[in-house]
Amino acid sequence: MNGRLPAYVDVAIVGAGFAGLGMAIRTARRGSESFVVLERGDSVGGTWRDNRYPGVSCDVPAHVYSYSFRPPGDWDSLFADGAAIHDYLERAATDEGIRPHLHLNVDVTETRWLPDELCWAVSSTAGELRARVLVVAVGRLANPMVPDFAGVESFPGKVFHTAQWDGDAPIDGARVGVVGTGASAVQLVPELARRAGELVVFSRSAPYVVPRGDRQYSEAEREHLRVKANADQLRARLFSEADKAFAQRRGLHPAIDEIRDRALGHLHAQVSDPGLRADLTPNYEIGCKRILLSDEFFPTMTSSHVTLEPSALAEFDGSRAVAASGRSFELDTVVLATGFEAARPEFATRIVGVGGERLSEHWQAGMVSYASTAVSGYPNMFVLDGPNAALGHNSAIFMIETQIDYVLGAMDHLSAGGPIALEVMAAAEQAYTREIDERSASTVWLSGCSSWYLDPLSRRLTLLWPGTGQSFRDRNGTFDPYHYERVWAPDWVDLPVS
Ligand code: NAP
């Protein structure tokens, strides 16, 4: 629903994925702040709207990968597919009355802190508004990473990213290439293999894959899980089981040995050819990159019409895709499962803080924050799912909900007749950054592999929280005003009435 943008709101939320929509729902339920949600896409859902590739699904169980504050989703299996998650978010937007606040197809072009007015000027393709609080919920998997392949313009077929699925591209009976063997690729490859005449998978680093173990819920189980208390019990169990896996990411024995054995045992059980097995054996420590879940990926790779090319796609030469090894393949369609620009979010170039500094400049050595949510020099701005707020081993939704609680705590502070601006102190940000470095020092993410969890320049861990989900909530679940400069409205600031 796209009405005119209001001139002023208490809260402007940018993005309507899990994070932005969750923030909107919790804000709407308070009923004390005016707000808008500005979304560049044509529907809510973020990554679950954009990712439409065959096989897209979530490898975190649905009962923990959903809002704890909403009625339980009526999931039909342990893991939900992408379309079901998108539907769940659409329903949440409608049921919670978010649509009148939602402005779709609106791209936020710049947000600028106005020191004279102590609020944000938010410029967008639909016009400008002022907001006292800015919530940046633009997603960490929002902008596809599309490598710049030499000769791509000479390729006569279609080349596209998994998050920009081209339903018209030749697949059935065609010669198809997939670049990458990350979480998206292992879901996509078995689906494409069922349809393609030939399939070539370019893998420059082999993934660790463990059994997925999905299963359908029986009707009796679904009935049971429609009761919120029962679903909450399952959520808590799934969450605490998953959180135990952090011991693996700390490299603790025997936890890391058990998961490594499970992954390599899965490979051995499913791939008997020694050459193929060697090409599918990772050369880095388990957990350094995301551990993948699939029962079908390895068997697919043994199919006679599927080829594993154990090197990167380097360039195109007409209709041939040329690998770093020098081998080349005649292809009709190439799918880039090459991931996202996560460590250096493009949106940071559009945010201008105190003194005119762009967030991208503040983050030139990698993303930093306080409490993974506030940034020094950017008053009344809160970033969801940004610096050190993701998890590799448990539900991202738990992290987002923790951050929403933190932001609502800050908003309580702002709305209690107290300060109208809160700016986290530089010293708090620096201390938190040191804390992150200390917590991450002994983790497997810093064991030497190259992953998008690390900043490409500083090699600091900037994407993941280096701890359990619970420890994130213990550390960052409650707004702590002592680390903030509090600014009261001087006489000359004309406070808008919302
Ligand atoms: P990704 O994990 O970043 O994987 C990208 C893949 O592309 C890697 O294998 C990478 O190799 C490879 N690559 C990049 N350029 C290449 C080239 N020129 N030649 C050959 N390979 C190349 O991306 P993703 O699979 O889209 O997943 C991104 C994130 O999305 C995941 O980590 C996860 O958080 C999320 N996701 C989640 C689910 C889920 O079920 N929850 C599903 C899909 C995605 P290197 O490893 O060598 O860099």
The residue whose CA has the least distance to atom 46 of ligand 1 is 205
Is the distance from the beta carbon of residue 6 to the nearest atom of ligand 1 less than 6 Å?
Answer: no
Q: Is 156 helix (H, G, I), strand (E, B) or coil?
A: coil
DSSP string, 45-80: -THHHH---TT-B-SS-TTTSS-TTSPPP--SBSS-
Q: Is 178 helix (H, G, I), strand (E, B) or coil?
A: strand
Is the distance from the beta carbon of residue 51 to the nearest atom of ligand 1 less than 6 Å?
Answer: no
Specify the DSSP element, H or E, that contains 322. strand 320-323
For residue 104, report the distance from its CA to the centre of ligand 1, in Å.
28
Instruction: Determine the Cα–Cα distance for residues 72 and 74; give it in Å rounded to an integer.
Output: 6
Is the distance from the beta carbon of residue 60 to the nearest atom of ligand 1 less than 6 Å?
Answer: yes
Q: Which atom belonging to ligand 1 lies closest to the Cα atom of 60?
A: 41
pLDDT at 260: 98
For residue 403, report the distance from its CA to the centre of ligand 1, in Å.
26
The residue whose CA has the least distance to atom 15 of ligand 1 is 338
Is the distance from the beta carbon of residue 202 to the nearest atom of ligand 1 less than 6 Å?
Answer: yes
pLDDT at 187: 98
For residue 338, report the distance from its CA to the centre of ligand 1, in Å.
5
Of 72, 319, 340, 291, residue with least CA distance to 186: 291
Is the distance from the beta carbon of residue 297 to the nearest atom of ligand 1 less than 6 Å?
Answer: no
CATH architecture of 152-207+249-333: 3-Layer(bba) Sandwich (3.50)
- Alpha helix segments (H runs only) across 312-420: 359-362, 396-414
Q: What is the dihedral sign for C-alpha 394, 397, 398, 399?
A: positive
315 pairs with which residues across the strands?
A: 150, 322
Task: Give me 321's structure tokens.
Answer: 């895709």
Q: Provide the CB-side half-sphere exposure for 390 (13 A, CA).
A: 21
Instruction: Determine the Cα–Cα distance for residues 351 and 112; give it in Å rounded to an integer.
Output: 6
Task: Give me 495's structure tokens.
Answer: 């406070």
The residue whose CA has the least distance to atom 1 of ligand 1 is 339
Is the distance from the beta carbon of residue 179 to the nearest atom of ligand 1 less than 6 Å?
Answer: yes
Is the distance from the beta carbon of residue 300 to the nearest atom of ligand 1 less than 6 Å?
Answer: no
Is the distance from the beta carbon of residue 184 to the nearest atom of ligand 1 less than 6 Å?
Answer: yes
- Alpha helix segments (H runs only) across 217-273: 219-225, 228-244, 246-249, 255-270
199 pairs with which residues across the strands?
A: 176, 306
Instruction: Determine the Cα–Cα distance for residues 454 and 168; give it in Å rounded to an integer.
Output: 35
Q: Which atom belonging to ligand 1 lies closest to the Cα atom of 202?
A: 20
Q: What is the dihedral sign for C-alpha 23, 28, 29, 33?
A: positive
Is the distance from the beta carbon of residue 143 to the nearest atom of ligand 1 less than 6 Å?
Answer: no
For residue 449, report the distance from its CA to the centre of ligand 1, in Å.
14
Of 134, 140, 31, residue with least CA distance to 410: 134
b/e map 65-91, b = 16+ CB within 10 Å: bbbbeeebbebeebbbbbebbbebbbe
pLDDT at 37: 98
Degrees to nearest 5, angle at CA 236 with 453 and 389 = 20
Domain with CATH 3.50.50.60 in the chain: 8-44+98-143+341-487, 152-207+249-333
Per-residue pLDDT of the chain (498 residues; tens, 9 = 90+): 567 999 999 999 999 999 999 999 999 999 999 999 999 999 999 999 999 999 999 999 999 999 999 999 999 999 999 999 999 999 999 999 999 999 999 999 999 999 999 999 999 999 999 999 999 999 999 999 999 999 999 999 999 999 999 999 999 999 999 999 999 999 999 999 999 999 999 999 999 999 999 999 999 999 999 999 999 999 999 999 999 999 999 999 999 999 999 999 999 999 999 999 999 999 999 999 999 999 999 999 999 999 999 999 999 999 999 999 999 999 999 999 999 999 999 999 999 999 999 999 999 999 999 999 999 999 999 999 999 999 999 999 999 999 999 999 999 999 767 789 999 999 999 999 999 999 999 999 999 999 999 999 999 999 999 999 999 999 999 999 999 999 887 665 655 544
CATH, range 8-44+98-143+341-487: 3.50.50.60
pLDDT at 144: 98
Instruction: Determine the Cα–Cα distance for residues 481 and 53; give it in Å rounded to an integer.
Output: 44
pLDDT at 487: 87
Is the distance from the beta carbon of residue 163 to the nearest atom of ligand 1 less than 6 Å?
Answer: no
In the chain, what are the helix, strand and coil shares in percent, each to the nearest 5?
Answer: 35, 20, 45
Is the distance from the beta carbon of residue 180 to the nearest atom of ligand 1 less than 6 Å?
Answer: yes
Which residues does 439 contact at the CB level (< 8 Å), separation at least 6?
Answer: 466, 467
DSSP string, 446-463: GSS---TTB-TTT--B-S
pLDDT at 498: 45
CA torsion angle for 376, 382, 385, 387 (degrees, to 10)?
A: 0
Instruction: Determine the Cα–Cα distance for residues 432 and 424; give it in Å rounded to an integer.
Output: 11
Instruction: Determine the Cα–Cα distance for residues 490 and 486; give it in Å rounded to an integer.
Output: 12
Q: Which atom belonging to ligand 1 lies closest to the Cα atom of 79?
A: 40
pLDDT at 3: 75
The residue whose CA has the least distance to atom 10 of ligand 1 is 180
For residue 339, report the distance from its CA to the centre of ligand 1, in Å.
4
DSSP string, 128-150: EEEEEEEEE---SS-SB-----B
Distances (CA, A) of 320 to 161, 174, 176, 195: 18, 14, 11, 21
Instruction: Determine the Cα–Cα distance for residues 44 and 93; give it in Å rounded to an integer.
Output: 8
Residue pair 394/245 in contact by the 8 Å Cβ criterion: yes
Residue pair 139/17 in contact by the 8 Å Cβ criterion: yes
For residue 462, report the distance from its CA to the centre of ligand 1, in Å.
17
Place of tokens 């609680």: 405
For residue 474, report the distance from its CA to the centre of ligand 1, in Å.
30
